[in-house]
Every structure is written in C-alpha cells, then in structure tokens.
Amino acid sequence: MWKNSNLRCLLALAILCLRSLTYSQEIASLGDPQNLKCVTRNLHKMLCTWDISSRGRHGQTDFCYTTNDLTTQVCSKTKERRVELPVPERSITVTIKSSGTAFATKEFVIHQKDISFVPDPPHILSLMPDFPTSTLNLKWIDNGSVFPYGLDALWQIQILRKEAMEVVTQVTYYSKLTHENIILSWNWTSDMPLECTSHYVKIRCYINATQFVGPKEWSDWSPAGMIPGKDAEPGGSGVFPLDPVVAVGSDLTFCCVHEEDQRITNMTYGSKSYTMMRLSSRSHAIKVLNASVSNSSGTNVVCRLENGLEGSVVFVGYAPDSPQNLSCETLNFLMIKCTWKPGRPSGLYGERRTKYSLFERTSGKNVSCEVSEMNKDHVCGFPVLPDQKIYDFILGVSNPLGQAQSSLLVDITQRVRPKTPEKLTVTGNNSTSIQLRWFINGSFAEIRLLCQIEITSSHYERKLHNVSMPGRKSSTYSAQLSALHPDTKYQFRVRCSAADHFWRWSDWSRGVEQTTSEAPPARGPDIWRERSPSGESIIVFWKPLSLSETNGKIVSHEVSCHLLETVLEHKIVFEPSSSTEIKLGKSDCVISVVARNHAGSSPPSRITSVELPSDNVTTDQAMAMGNGINISWDSYPNMTCGYIVKWCHSSGSEPCSVDWQKFPSNTTNVVIKSALFKPGVRYNFSLYGCKSMGYQLLKNITGYMKELPPKTAPNFIVEETSSDSILVKWEDIPIDECRGFLKGYLLSFAKGEKDALKPRLSESGNPELKVNNITDLTKKSMKILDLQGKTSYQLELQAYTAGGLSPPNSLYVVTKEDSVGLIIAILIPVAVVVLLGVLASIFCYRKREWIKETFYPEIPNPENSKALQFQRNICEGNKTLKTLEMNPCTPNSVEVVETQPSAPKIEDTEMMSPAEETTVPEDGSDSEMENHVVVSYCPPIIEEEISNPPTDEPGESSQVVYIDIQSMYQPQIKPEEEPEIDIVTTAGYKPQMQLSIRALKIEGHSPVEEDLDKTAGYRPQTNTNAWNMGTPDSPGSVESNNENVSFGSPCSINSRQFLLPPKDDEDSPKPINTGWSFTHFFQNKPND
Amino acid sequence: MAAADSPSAALRRDLCSRGIRLAGKMRADVVDLLDAYVEQQGLDASASVAAVEGVPLAAVERWDEQTGTQRLLENLAAYRAFRALLAQMLEEQREQLGEADAGLGRALAAVLLQVSAFAYHLEELLRLESRGIPGEEEEDGPPPPPRLSLFEQKLRGLGVLRELAQWAVRSVRDLRQLAKPSPATGAAPSLAESP
C-alpha cells in the first residue's frame, strides 16, 4: 500500500513538473531554455541546440524526449546545450530542465518541418594539377552511404586564383547518390597556366532529399584545396607555359615568374612587346590573341628581367588534314606502295611533326610511315602478305594538335604497275625480224603481263606492238618482232602492265637501236624510153625506187637490150644516174632494167623500144586543178596494156628531165601531180597508148598546174586615125609570159589627155569608159568608131587568162579635125552677119527721115552739145572720166558750179578721200573741193593714158588726165623746193609713169632720156622704195606733214590733186587697192 | 739556329701555320653560322647569355704568362667541349626541326667537322712535343645535365657559338705565340715549360 502511495506521489510530481515545463515554454520566461534548433546532416540524426539564461548556464541540464513511437520518455543529462536526437518521422517532444531551478523546465514539440537539412561539407580527396595542359583534377567522396539511394546531389565547385583568392569560376556538378560512398572527379582547364600563380578549389553540396519536409540547405564550403603556383615556390622562375604546341587562332596567356627581388623589364611574343598583368609580386602575365602560325623553330616568348632572361618557345600550327587521294599499288608483289596528298601543312616540324601510320585491318598489321615533310606526295610502304589479295588500309595521321584518318579497300592483284623493264637487248636480227629481251624485277607469277613495244624509225610511222605473256618471278621476258623493213634503223623500248586487270603502265624502259640487214630490191624500177631525135639510139629512163622498195642502198642499174634471146646491149649504170643511151640504129629491142643493192638484184622491168606510127595527133588543153593538171582523153579500145603520160620538166638552162606515169587501160581521166610543177608554167604532155607491139603517141596536151594572169601587157599600136575612128593593132604575148591559156583581150577607151599621174582607165571610174572584149584570139586589130574629131583619147589594152587580167598597155590618140564642121561653123556666122547687115541697110533706108531728124537735125539741139555732155559726166561723178574733146572746146577754162543735189555725186569721184568721207567741214573752207570742181585745160605738153585696173572692181577703169593748170593755180611752194620747180617749169610736165616705164624697158633706154630725167627734178613715183608706201620709216612718212602729199600717189608738182585716189587706211596700206602699183604694172603688161 | 732548323721545329711551325689557317676559316664560318642561327631561332643578336656550362672561357688572365703546353691543353679541352656541345646542338636541331631548315643543320655539321679537325690538330701538336694527350671525359665524366627547355637550348646554342668564335680568335693568337722562336734559344719556345 505504501509502495503504491509512493508511486502515486512520484507520478503526480512528474505530471506537475511537465505541466510546469509546458507552462514555462509557453510563457518563455527569462532563464528558461529557449531557441531550440535542430539540424540534421544525414537525415538520421539531428543536433538540437538551445539557449539558456545566464543563471542556469553553468549547471547541468536534464533532457528528455519522447516520440510517438516511444512509449517511454528518454532522458539524459548534459552540461552542454546541445544534444543529438534521432530525426523523427513526424514530431518529437522534448523536455529540458535546467538544474538548480525548480521551475526552469521547458517542453518543446519539434516537427520534421522544423528541422533543417544541411549536409556535411564535401571532403576533397585530391586536387592534382597537370601543368602542361593547365588542367586540374578534383576528386571528392559523395558520402552517399549515409543517404538513401537515389537522391540527387548538386556540387558547387569554386575556382579561386591569386593570393587574394579572386573567384575565377564557379560550376555546378550533378550526381546521384547510390547509398554508397563514391569518388567523384572533375577536371577544369585553366586559361592561365597553373604555374603562373596559386589556384584554389572549394566545393559544397546540396542533397535534394525529397522525402524530407524540412528546409534543405547547401552544405558549408569545404576547406580550399590549393595548387601552388611557381611564384609560391622558393626559387621558382621561368616563362609558362613551357614550350606549348597550340592551334592557330588560339588565345594564349603567358606568365613570367621571377624572384621577389627582380623586376621585369618587358615581355615579348615574337618580336612584339605586350602589356603585362600583375598576378602576384613574383608573377606577371601577357595575353596573346589569335596566335598565327609560327616558324619552324617556334615563336619565342621572352621575359626580360633586370639581370637575366627567361623564355619559352611556343609552336603554333594546325591539326592534320585528312589524307587525300590515298592510292595503293604494287610494283613487284613484294611491297605495296601507298601514296597520298597530305593537304594543308601543319606548320609543325621535328618531334611535333605530323606522323603517319598504315594499319591493315584484315591482318591487324600496323606500319609506321617515314615520310618527308617537304614532299607534296607522301609515300608509305606495306609488305605484301602471303595469301592475301584484299587489303583494308587505314592511314592514320596525328600531331600534337589532333588526328585524322583515311581508308582504302584494295585488291592488290588489280593494282599492279610493274617496275620499269631493264636490260632491254636485241637478239637475233635479219632483214625483217628481230628478237627483244628484257628483265622485270618482281614476283608476277600470279598474273599475266601485257608488254607494249614501241617501234620507231625515222622513215616510218611509230608502231606499238603488244605482247601478252605469263608473269614470272624476277625473270627475263622476250618477244619476236617481224614485218620490219630491211635496212632500217629502228628504236625500241618496252613497258608492261597487268594483262587481266589493267591499272597503269610501267615507265618506258631505256631505248635500244637496231638496224635491220639489207634485202634485194622489192621490184624493178619504173622505166620509159625515147628514141633520140636522130633515131639512131634509144634513151632509157628509170625512176628511183621508194625507200620501202630499195631494201638497201641501190648501187647500180643493169640495162640490157634483147632481141628475142639475143642480147644486143648490156650496160651497168651506177648511181645516181637515172638514164642511159643505147645505140641501136633503126632497129628495135626489148629493154630490161634491173636495180641492184648489196643484197642482190631486183626483178627486171621491161619495155619495148617499138614506137607505133600515129595519125592526126592533136594538141589539147588540160585543165589546171591548182595542185595538179587534169588530163583526159577518149578511150582507145586498141590500147591493151594501158596508157603512159609523159612530160618534161625543165628548170633554167638544164635540159628537161623526162617524167612519166603509167595508167591502166580503163583510165581516161587522170590528174598529174608533181612537186616540180609550178603555177603559171606551161607543161607539154604526150599521151602514149600501150599495145602489145609497142607504144603509140595518141595526142599531145598542154596544161598549167595553175593559170596566172599574163605577166606583160600586149603591145599595140594605132594604125590609123580619122576624125571619128581609130584603128588599133596588137601583137601576141610570148607564151612564157602568158602564164595561162589566153582567153581574149580587153580594149578600153575614153576621152583623156595625156597625163602621167592619171590612173588606169579601168580604175578611173570614167563614166565615158567603153570596153571592148575581144575573144577571137585570131583577131589582131580593131577599129574604134563613133569618136569625136580633134579629141584626145586614152586607149588601154589588156590580155586575160583564166588566172586574170594582164597589166594594161596605154596609148593616147588625138582624132583628126572634122573639116566639114569647121566650114559650117565659119559659114553660118558670116551668113548671119551679112543677113543682119542687109536687114539694117533696109531698115535705115526706110527710116532715113527719122534718123536724120534724130541724129542730124538741121537745127542743133543744145542738149546734144559735147561740151555739156562732158560737164554732165563730171558732175554726175561718172566713173569713166572722159578726156575733154579738144576740137569743139575753144575756151581756156570752164568753171561749172553745181548746185547742192550734185554734191553727193562728187563724193563718188576719184577725188574723194577717206578724210573727206568721214569729216565734212562745217565752215565750208574746203567746200570747193567737194562741190566745186575746177577743170582747166591747156594743150598738154605730154599726155599719157595708162590703162590701170585700180581696185578689186575689174570692170571699172579710170583714166588719168594730166592737165597743165599752172596758169590758173599757184601752189604754196616751199623755198627749198624752188630750184626743183624751176627745173620742172623749164622741163614742163613730165608724166610720172615715164620713168617707170623706162625702168622696165631699160635696154631701150637712151642716154638722152636719162639726162632729161636728171633735169626733171621730180620723180618720187619713180623711186622704187617710195612705191613701198605705208611703212613708218619710209621717206614718205617723213614728208607726211605736207597735207597735199599722199605717198605713193602719182601727182604733178603743179597739181593740187592726187592723180590716184589716196589709200583708205594708213595703217594697212594695200598698194593694189591704190589704183596703180608696180605690181599692177606687170600684171597689166601682157594685156598691153 | 740549328734547333730552329730541326725537322721537329719545322714540323711544329708547319702545324702551327696550318692550325692558324684552320682557326681563321673556322672563325669566319662560325660568324656566318651565328648570324644564321640568330635569325632562324628568332633570337635577339644583342641578348646577353650566361656562360655556357662546360666551356672554358676564352678570356683568361695572364695570357702572356702561359706556357705553350698550357695553351695547347686549354685549347684542346675547349674544342673537345665544343665538339660535344655542337654535336648535341646538331642532334637537338634535327629533333626540333626535322627536315625544315636543313641549311642551318648543314652549316652546324660543317662547323662541327672543323672543330673536330682542329681538336685533332691540337692533339698532333701535343704529340709532337711528346706530351701525353689527356683522355676524354666521356665515360667517367659527370652525368648529363638535366634536359633544358627549348628556349634554354636556343640560348645555350647562341652562347656556344659566341664562345667558339672567341676561341677561334684566341687559338690563332695561341698558335702564333707557339710558332714564334724562343728568344732564349733562338728556337721555338719549349713546350716543356708547363708546370
């Protein structure tokens, strides 16, 4: 009972305590346990921590917990404020009682959602650098054994660099947990060599536990793993990366690590200096972008220090190309030779070069190829394997930057290109056949060989002779060649291939030469004979045999003459003669000719000397074919053994050489061709018919290979001319100059004077050209009719052939005068004049009263006065100034004063000057010059009239009238001129032209006249210098102050007027226009 | 004077004069090779290079006081070293360049041949004086140096050729000195003065 009561008391107390704890948690009073936090790292256990006030901090804590699964509370005592508990499936109730405080008990209920899941930081198993590749390798354990199977795990890895641990990169790695501890590995390649500075690696994880409902967090970072750079290494120095091989276009970072107390001057890549980046106190770096291919010895990266030099060599190149055109063949069935083209050069040499290997898949055999980098074609040998025909090759290519391959499947028996045949020799030789032997190195026992023999000689076409033979192992092969020409020098060479599956020919062997031996000539020569003009002998001709027929060098010909069985004549004619004469008299025989060489004689050629008589042998013309001469004839049935066309070539002064050609009996048309034929040369052919008895001349033929125009023009003359016709005669052109068969003549004529520069009539295009075509070659003259009398004609004569026209021959002929026409031409005008005279006489007779009344009235009409007529002429300014008639004029002087309307007429007279024309004085001081013309008259001492066309108006003529007007006009004479005046006065007026005329007629010049001239005093006009007026420095210019002086104008010293009109323009004098000049004098002279 | 006319003295003079010609030719060839080497390797001709390990320096203190034998022995040691170094250079050149730039390889081989010939010539001179010819240190020599980086190889090659050019000059002077008749005896200087 006590016991029960005690137990009841304890239970009551506990309940009381729990109540108070619950209460305390709810109240959360000071000094109570608080902020209970639970964190799990493996989803099995969790670590709970709490805070306690300062009063109970040093005491012991009772800790109890219970879960739904537990029937009893689990308690424990702890001095720390943390306890490890299992992770509940749903919730857990925790009671924490601090010691020393009766009421410091608190109860917590922890649900799973309140528990954080934070995995442990990953443990780095290893961190390994690979300096040549700048790659680091990280290994860690995933700790998966503590977690359920299949959870996703994320790993965050951070790379840090330099002393300051700058983050370079951060990556997330994914894995799945397998409830086992797995080692995970991760590689990272740095853009900077790992030697340049220290690198650090940290890792943390996140496990995606989907069943766990509480918050899930990343683990803490693992402790950093470190890869120390060379700058962290005492005494470490150098340029990194060291001697790398990189691809063209890469971006490269180089660093220079040096001692602490050193200083970098600069860093260069090749010859270029780069800006440096500081990595640490001992390390600096440069960055090179897009590196280009380096040279064979690499590109130097140099780091210049204050007292030293560090460097590295970088090789920049290309990864290998795939081999192209891979081809394999065998030359000897011992080795297979594979060739290919390497493609783009890698730019890498030596130990970094591209390496090749040939792998055969069937046999599994691999061969390393030694190839020359400098060759365009690469070659690799592979041994022929026994009992293997099919080869499956893979050509592998690699260099430090990459690799490639190419494959080829080949049946080696179909890829045979035998080695070049050697030791080619000629064995066995006669005139038409030889035997060749050669050797081929190789084992060709399994195939047949096809060998080709090339046969060449200077006289015959190149021939190829194929011969097939079974292959053997390194053996000698032979072939027999026949149908060769005797006495011919041949060149032979051989090449071979596989006979059954042709792949390629071998190279040609070295050539050998061999000359075949001689044989007797193949046939007798082609012969002809001609009887000499005297008929006493026969000349035998033969043609040389062709090269293929001589079979050796012809040394002689044997000519014999048989009559039945009797040899009348036998001659041996040595080369190079091709004819001989046999004296037979008038008899005939059968002529036989045999050609001989060193090997023997040819079969004989025979011909009879009998020439049958011929009747009516005509001469025809052959047709020129351009390259030969076409000869045709009618068929002669009697000619049983064919025809012979014979002709003769003559060149220059040498006697003509006979040539001939034989044709069968059915031939009637042939074209004779010869290299000796020349265009424009006439050849004479004789056609012979062959009968059993002999040969008969059938006809002669002349012909040209090609007709040309006649070389010269036909000569012709004018035989007779009349007023309307010309008779022309011409001669034949010599045959040599015809150069073709003459077809006719062309006679052309047209009016034309003889002129050396005139073109040919045919080329002149003269519309009056007439051409007569004379086709009748027998006609040698022609009369040209319907010509005009007393007219010059040009005649041209040309001959023409089928080849064209000859050059023309020209003549000029003047037809005779037509006398009848002339008479008519004279008589008609005379008759007309007589008729008009008669008609005028009749008219005058009938109108005589009216004429008398009009022209000779009994009371004169003052209007018909001569004097008035004269006056009117002057006043009207008539251009033709008439000389005053002397007889009816009795007064000494007449002054006519014209009224105003007459003034303009005066301006038109020769008195008009340019000054007067432009300026008309208003004061009228010179008015008498304009409207007051004084005409004085005295019987002249000398009067001369000069017909002088003064200006450009040829129809206008002027008369100069010299008048002595001394009595009515006294000019202002300067004192110094007085002596001259006196002389002039004594001499009277001397016309100015007198001296000039005298000067031109100097031969007829009398001394008396000369004296007169000297005393005449005045003669400015006679001074030839003075004629050249208008020059500023001329004497006339000096005297230009005298207003009456018009230089060059003929004038009288007593005259106040110039006798010739003054020049229009002082600045541009034109003597021709002044009315009279020295040049006009000459021009007018012939007209005088 | 009688000694000067002895066959051995005449032979020595002849050997010296031929050696001078050899060294002169070698000097000219090495200078040409140096230019080609600097250009082909992309180096700076003015770059200063540290002394090459294993090559006695041509410059020496108290050159005038050296005996003939000393001169010959130093020359021989130097040219033997050059022979080994040039052979190594040639091998490295073939390794690194393969068939590319074969001209440089040929020039290097030609100089190597001249160096070998000159070393043999020096041995002849020593033999003439009945001096023992020191053995080569190939078999019991120091272990080969650690493999150099390519840049270090280039610099070493530059240093070897520069020093070889210097040595060619010194060898000419040394051989001229040897060829001079000794002022004390009126004959060629005794090579037996070596300490």
pLDDT value of residue A920? 37
**Binary contact (A296, B149; C-beta < 8 A):** no
pLDDT value of residue A641? 87
Cross-chain CB nearest to A351 (options B95, B100, B152):
B95
A375–chain B Cβ distance below 8 A for any pair: no
A238 contacts on B by Cβ (under 8 Å): 149
Looking at CA atoms only, how far is residue B61 from chain A in angstroms?
Answer: 25
**Binary contact (B42, A350; C-beta < 8 A):** no
Beta bridge partners of A696: A612, A689
pLDDT value of residue A27? 41
**Binary contact (B151, A299; C-beta < 8 A):** no
**Binary contact (B151, A300; C-beta < 8 A):** yes
Cross-chain CB nearest to B99 (options A239, A300, A373):
A373
A354–chain B Cβ distance below 8 A for any pair: no
B118-132 pLDDT per residue, tens:
999 999 998 887 767
B69–chain A Cβ distance below 8 A for any pair: no
Q: What secondary structure does DSSP assign to A810-845, as a single string? A: EEEEEPPP-HHHHHHHHHHHHHHHHHHHHHHHHHHH
Per the structure block, which two tokens stand in for A554?
Answer: 């012809």
Cα separation, A440 vs A421, in Å, equals 5
Residue A1031, SS3 per DSSP: coil
Q: Which candidate in A296, A373, A374 is best for mutational testing of the B interface (most B CBs within 10 A)?
A: A296
A131–chain B Cβ distance below 8 A for any pair: no
A265–chain B Cβ distance below 8 A for any pair: no
Measured over the CA atoms of residue A616, residue A622, residue A628 and residue A634, the dihedral's sign is negative
**Binary contact (A351, B155; C-beta < 8 A):** no
Cα nearest neighbour of A299 on chain B: B42
CB A707 within 8 A of CB A803: yes
Q: Which residues of chain B have pLDDT under 50?
A: 1-4, 184-195
Cα separation, A1075 vs A1064, in Å, equals 11
Looking at CA atoms only, how far is residue A200 from chain B in angstroms?
Answer: 28
B108 contacts on A by Cβ (under 8 Å): none
CB A43 within 8 A of CB A147: yes
**Binary contact (A309, B155; C-beta < 8 A):** yes
Q: How far apart are the first and last CA of chain A?
A: 204
Run of H or E including B74: helix B68-97
pLDDT value of residue A895? 54
pLDDT value of residue A22? 43
B137-174 pLDDT per residue, tens:
655 555 666 778 999 999 999 999 999 999 999 999 99
Looking at CA atoms only, how far is residue A294 from chain B in angstroms?
Answer: 11
**Binary contact (B94, A313; C-beta < 8 A):** no
**Binary contact (B149, A297; C-beta < 8 A):** no
Cα separation, A161 vs A202, in Å, equals 11
B45–chain A Cβ distance below 8 A for any pair: no
B149–chain A Cβ distance below 8 A for any pair: yes
**Binary contact (A297, B47; C-beta < 8 A):** no
CB atoms closer than 10 angstroms to residue A634: 8
Q: Which candidate in B150, B154, B156 is best for mutational testing of the A interface (most A CBs within 10 A)?
A: B150
CB atoms closer than 10 angstroms to residue B155: 24
Mean pLDDT, 10 residues at a time, over chain A (1088 residues)?
50 50 44 79 85 63 75 77 81 74 70 88 92 92 88 94 88 93 94 92 92 89 92 89 93 93 91 92 94 94 90 95 93 93 90 93 93 81 92 95 94 93 88 92 91 92 93 91 90 95 94 92 90 85 89 92 84 89 84 92 90 85 87 87 87 74 89 87 89 88 90 88 87 87 88 68 73 87 85 88 88 83 86 93 89 76 57 46 48 51 39 38 39 40 40 40 41 40 39 40 41 41 40 37 40 42 41 39 38
**Binary contact (A312, B97; C-beta < 8 A):** no
Per the structure block, which two tokens stand in for A52?
Answer: 């306690």
Looking at CA atoms only, how far is residue A309 from chain B in angstroms?
Answer: 8
B83–chain A Cβ distance below 8 A for any pair: no
User: CA-based angle A769:A773:A777, to the nearest 5?
Assistant: 145
Cα separation, A1017 vs A982, in Å, equals 9
A132–chain B Cβ distance below 8 A for any pair: no
**Binary contact (B97, A296; C-beta < 8 A):** yes
**Binary contact (A300, B98; C-beta < 8 A):** no
Beta bridge partners of B87: none
CB B116 within 8 A of CB B83: yes
A351–chain B Cβ distance below 8 A for any pair: yes
pLDDT value of residue B12? 84
Looking at CA atoms only, how far is residue A448 from chain B in angstroms?
Answer: 42
**Binary contact (A372, B99; C-beta < 8 A):** yes
Cross-chain CB nearest to B149 (options A242, A295, A299):
A242
Cross-chain CB nearest to B97 (options A308, A312, A349):
A349
**Binary contact (A297, B48; C-beta < 8 A):** no
Looking at CA atoms only, how far is residue A368 from chain B in angstroms?
Answer: 17
**Binary contact (B149, A313; C-beta < 8 A):** yes
pLDDT value of residue A1036? 37
Cross-chain CB nearest to B40 (options A297, A299, A312):
A297
**Binary contact (A349, B100; C-beta < 8 A):** yes
pLDDT value of residue A82? 80
Per the structure block, which two tokens stand in for A163?
Answer: 């002393």
A239 contacts on B by Cβ (under 8 Å): 151
Cross-chain CB nearest to A270 (options B42, B94, B100):
B42
Cα nearest neighbour of A307 on chain B: B48
Beta bridge partners of A398: A355, A403
**Binary contact (A350, B43; C-beta < 8 A):** no
**Binary contact (A350, B94; C-beta < 8 A):** yes
